Chain A
Amino acid sequence: MSDNKIVQITGKAIVIPGDDIDTDRIIPARFLKEITFTNLGKYPFFDERFDVELKEKPHPFNDPSCQDARILLVNKNFGCGSSREHAPQSLNRWGIDAIVGESFAEIFASNCITLGIPAVTVSSERIRAFQAATLKDVNLIWTVNLENSTVSSAKASAELHMPEHHKNTLRKGLWDSTSLLLENEDRVRQLYDQLPYTSNYGS
């Protein structure tokens, strides 16, 4: 799985300011009716980007100068709400490869790990500085580096936070959970046999 290694993401950033940006804002539920994830790159923040007649509204994701951004800068509790993996999938398929924020909702963060998207945190003061720097110069290049645990650009930098083992999981390319879990099938079968409810409570 060596080509799964995620050590460093470098690119332009895009700012979505505000706390508690929920999954319904990231991708409205009506776009969850597609039975594959293939088209989801079209939909992030759809209702904030388009009016009811599908005319574009001013939004960072519509801004021509942001179209090649790879790093999303957000605030607290980003991705709260639904468990829909469609949320990180849609951001990722639009072009986002790393998310830097103050904090993330639990299930959203766990979905990001599963997809190999680093969702890292920095202090409140730093993220505000990062957002301000990017809004001032949209062409500013940022690097999220999991090796030396930093988020940096020519204008600002900070130590990034992410549980050490999550960092390692991404760096070593071990984020394909299915493959890892499959390795222990014998032990899973053993545990299955031991659990009371799988045998009608020990009949």
Chain B
Amino acid sequence: MAVGTLYNKIWNKHTVCQLQTGQHQLFIGLHLIHEVTSPQACDMLRERGLPVLFPDRTVATVDHIIPTTDQSRPYRDAQAEAMAQALHDNTDEFKIRYFGVGSAEQGIVHVMGPEQGMVHPGMTVACGDSHTSTHGAFGTLAFGIGTTQVGDVLATQCLSMDPLKVRKVQIDGNLQTGVFAKDVILHVIRKLGVKGGIGYAYEYCGSTIEAMTMEERMTVCNMSIEGGARIGYVNPDSTTYAYLEGRPYAPSGEAWTRALQYWETIKSDQEARYDDEIQINAEQVAPHVTWGINPGQSVGIDESLPDPTLLPDGERQTAELAYRHMNLKPGQSMNGVKIDVVFIGSCTNSRIEDLRAAATVAKGQKVPGHVRAIVVPGSRQVATQSESEGLHEVFIDAGFEWREPGCSMCLAMNPDRLEGNEISASTSNRNFIGRQGSPNGRTLLMSPQMAAAAAVNGQVTDVRSFAH
């Protein structure tokens, strides 16, 4: 059993008691809610006549179902409109802070929380969304939960949980030019497998992680769940503190000094023990692209696609299904695969650094006529910042559409989706069959720079071949 890790320390500090079921009652410090997984939970509270125990510990925003073109209400999609209205009414009734469309704070829930400074090291965080693991970048335990559990957190500020094992994922080495956090996490998932993390929390550490900005760490932690790990985290350090300082919901003045002292105490000890440890060398990691139907099915852009007959049983079947769905062939290269759509956005890669990186590739280039390319900033704040830097003009001049903030084509619960068997170069997190809204649609996951390069070339391209 792990001892002395950040996981152990936060878990212990937040355990209320052990329940008669044997599970632990864990206090949740920050609860983020959105329109899709909260209405049924609020219904449950009303049915049982329960109030929200600590309304000040929950924050709401709207992201999944909103259009990214015209965001004025009522939405054309009656279901989306009903969902948005339900969130508005529920937050009003239960006195929950709500950042709706039109507010300066609105955004994808996993972009909004961190940029507002709400996510502090040492917290437990929960949200009815599997990519809640994002917030582990700040040294938190951040759990994606189901809707009944959203109700639990609203009514009791707690979850009934089992402890996880802790795996130390040590990643060392300098990244090559053109290689980003997205490539690192795709590489990690490919190495450890999409089910490798079941039962584990991933502690990411090592020189590669230490050198990353907070936005890069969020990209890594965001996709922990794609590797089967419910949570992933990075120990807080000066990079974490520098990011937080001065943000609206971060402590300030004397509280900031006290917070810094506290945050230093919750890091994993030097002599901490782990349930498992693995080392990954990031020096040689190339830009990665997925070729299949789960995020573990990726290759470096300079590799050829694997021979399914050489894979173990279960993986072989998934690979064969993937080849059929994707219309790709073993042995071929992803370099040069023609694409129809480019999506730059999502809780994985829609932050300002992502858009800056993509813009350096797009600048002065032209998206060919057969490619539909959209850039969807992760929040109003990212949109505003991008516009103040002129990034939107770079994209628009290059033939991209510049959209309003939201989840957009990551999961197509809104008007943004693939049609027919279109193939997309996407900076999102899932390439599952049907994920981007068309049952026959095909998704290639990659970094924002790789997606921008694919957009301007009309095909998957090694971004390292671009002269910056």
Contact = CB atoms under 8 A, between A and B. Distances in A.
B436 to A, nearest CB: 9
Interface string A1-27: 000000000000000001110111100
Given A34-B79, A197-B123, A182 B23 contact: no
Contacts of A169: 21-23
Contacts of A23: 432
Interface string A106-149: 11001100110000000000000000000000000000000000
Contacts of A191: 14, 16, 27
Contacts of A19: 195, 314-315, 317-318
A200 B249 CA distance: 10
B325 to A, nearest CB: 11
B149 A177 contact: yes
A47 interface: yes
Contacts of A105: 195, 198, 228
B29 A198 contact: yes
A99 B196 CA distance: 21
B28 to A, nearest CB: 10
Contacts of A52: 439
A33 B195 contact: no
Nearest to B48: A178
The 5 A-B pairs of least Cβ separation, nearest first, read A165-B22, A85-B146, A111-B146, A47-B439, A19-B314
Contact of B65 (A33, A110, A172, A185): A33
B437 interface: yes
13 contacts: A19-B195, A25-B434, A83-B145, A85-B149, A105-B198, A110-B149, A163-B162, A177-B152, A178-B50, A180-B20, A181-B156, A195-B13, A201-B255
A81 interface: yes
A111 to B, nearest CB: 4
A83 B83 contact: no
B55 to A, nearest CB: 13
B412 interface: yes
Interface string A192-203: 100111101111
Given A52-B439, A195-B13, A25 B432 contact: yes
A104 to B, nearest CB: 8
A203 B148 contact: no
Interface in A88-113: 88, 103-107, 110-111
A168 interface: yes
A197 B122 contact: yes
A74 to B, nearest CB: 12
A32 B413 contact: yes
A122 to B, nearest CB: 15
Interface residues of A, number: 66
B247 interface: no
Nearest to B144: A83
Nearest to B433: A25
Interface of A: 18-20, 22-25, 28-30, 32-37, 47, 52, 75-77, 80-86, 88, 103-107, 110-111, 114-115, 163-166, 168-169, 172, 174-175, 177-178, 180-182, 184-185, 187-188, 191-192, 195-198, 200-203
B432 A188 contact: no
A140 to B, nearest CB: 24
B160 interface: yes
B53 interface: yes
B85 to A, nearest CB: 9
B360 interface: no
Contact of A196 (B132, B157, B259): B259
Interface of B: 13-14, 16-17, 19-23, 25, 27, 29, 36-37, 39-40, 43-44, 48, 50, 53-54, 57, 64-65, 77, 79-80, 82-83, 86, 120, 122-123, 128-130, 132, 144-149, 151-152, 155-160, 162, 194-195, 198-199, 225, 228-230, 251, 254-255, 258-259, 262, 294, 314-315, 317-318, 321, 411-413, 430, 432-435, 437, 439
A106 B156 contact: no
A202 B317 contact: no
Nearest to B150: A85
Contact of A77 (B82, B148, B194): B194
A20 B318 contact: yes
Nearest to B252: A200
A20 B294 contact: yes
Contacts of B413: 29-30, 32-33
Given A181-B19, A202-B258, 8 more contacts: A24-B432, A82-B129, A84-B146, A103-B195, A105-B198, A168-B22, A178-B155, A188-B53
Contacts of A174: 20-21
A165 B23 contact: yes
A120 B152 CA distance: 24
Given A24-B432, A196-B259, A178 B151 contact: yes
Given A35-B82, A36-B43, A83 B123 contact: no
A197 to B, nearest CB: 5
B434 A24 contact: yes
A173 B451 CA distance: 50
A115 B228 contact: no
A96 B2 CA distance: 37
A175 B123 CA distance: 26
Contacts of A198: 29, 57
Contact of A76 (B86, B145, B314): B314
Contacts of B25: 180-181, 184, 188
A148 to B, nearest CB: 20
Contacts of B144: 83, 107
Contact of B37 (A28, A85, A106, A192): A85
Given A25-B433, A177-B152, A80 B195 contact: yes
A201 B264 CA distance: 13
Contacts of B437: 29-30
B223 to A, nearest CB: 12
A29 B19 contact: no
B194 A80 contact: yes
A14 to B, nearest CB: 19
A142 B27 CA distance: 40
